[in-house]
Every structure is written in C-alpha cells, then in structure tokens.
Chains A and B, each alone.
Chain A
C-alpha cells in the first residue's frame, strides 16, 4: 500500500530564510505533484515531477525528485509572506487515476 508522508506538518519561519519541505513515499511511483492551498481556496498545481533527478523551479520555489530514495523536496529560498499557504505533495498510485496525498505542510511566513 502506497503511503505518503510529509514533514514538517507545520512550519513557521521568518521572511528571508530558506527552508525545505520533505515528501517521502513508500513504494515506487512514476509521478509526483506539488500543490498549494490558500485558506478557503482551491488547490493550485505547482509542479509535476516525472523522472528521477527532475528539478523544477518557479520563483522562490524549487522541487526535486529522487525516485531511488522515494523522496521529493520543495525548497523555499528567501521566503516572503505571500508564500504562506499549505503545501501538499501527491504521489501517483498503481492506477493512472490514483493519487495518494500527503497530509500537507502548513507554512506561515512572518514579515
């Protein structure tokens, strides 16, 4: 059974700092997604990672995938308040429709 674990589940940090959110999963998968959710809002797709060593960057966010370690990271560089949100990773299951979700990391960035 595929399980997805994110850590930390809660992170409070100051603007300007760097930090990393981790997403571990228990069995092999061919796809991993990162989503952002603002309070009371929809989930917004951030990154789609499909291959070992894949790295994608958008602004201050960078996501990477190590399929051998079954680990993805979401790195935040020089955080700004606008990045405060809950970040979810989701890992593809055996079926092409199946996504297993992490519990989310609630990120608060203080000005």
Chain B
C-alpha cells in the first residue's frame, strides 16, 4: 500500500476483554515496529519485527501482550484481558531495513484504544 495502514482506528472495549490490533506495513518494508503513546507522552517501544521474527520482546508491558507477523507483512498486536491502563494510542511503523543508519520509519495513524 501507499502507507502504513492500521485498523481499527478507534476501539472501545470493556475491561477484561481481548483486543486485536492490525498493522499493514508499506510493501517491501522488512522492519516493523509497535509503539504505545499515552496522552501527552512520548513513544514507548513495544516490539519490533525483522521479517517474521521478533528478536526482542522485552518492551512488551506484560504477558497479556503478544504480537505476531506473518508473511513478512501484516502484523497483529493482541492484548488479552485488557486493563484500563492499557488505554493509549498504539502506533505501528515500518522501515526498509534495520541496520541502515539513514533509514527512517514511516508511521501509521494509530489505533486509539479505550478500555472502560
């Protein structure tokens, strides 16, 4: 696609329910990142993928969070048993490759998650 696409754009869910957030990166981008942005805060790194592999999962806030990527393309971030503190904007970004210094990341518009 022309840009990074995320869905849904907004999600309101009840506490305790599971949610799945989707990211469709720019075609050909091998690196994919998930970030969380709380109101008025900077970006908090969650996880990255190089291809389908996620070498570093240490940024995930708890074991309720998981992510996968298939076919080197679409990624899903799943939050189980959502809590109110999970409310934030979840941003996905993709870049051409890791390890290339001048490679910039392109961001999707984010999914605003509200847990009530």
Contacts and interface: CB of A to CB of B under 8 A. Distances in A.
Interface of A: 4, 30-31, 33, 35, 40-45, 48, 50, 88, 90, 92, 95-104
Q: Which 6 residue pairs spanning A and B have beta carbons closest together?
A: A101-B42, A43-B107, A101-B43, A96-B99, A103-B42, A45-B104
Interface string B88-116: 00010100001101101111111000000
Interface residues of B, number: 26
A28 to B, nearest CB: 14
B4 interface: yes
Interface of B: 3-4, 31, 33, 40-45, 48, 50, 56, 91, 93, 98-99, 101-102, 104-110
B107 A88 contact: no
B99 A45 contact: no
Contacts of B109: 40-42
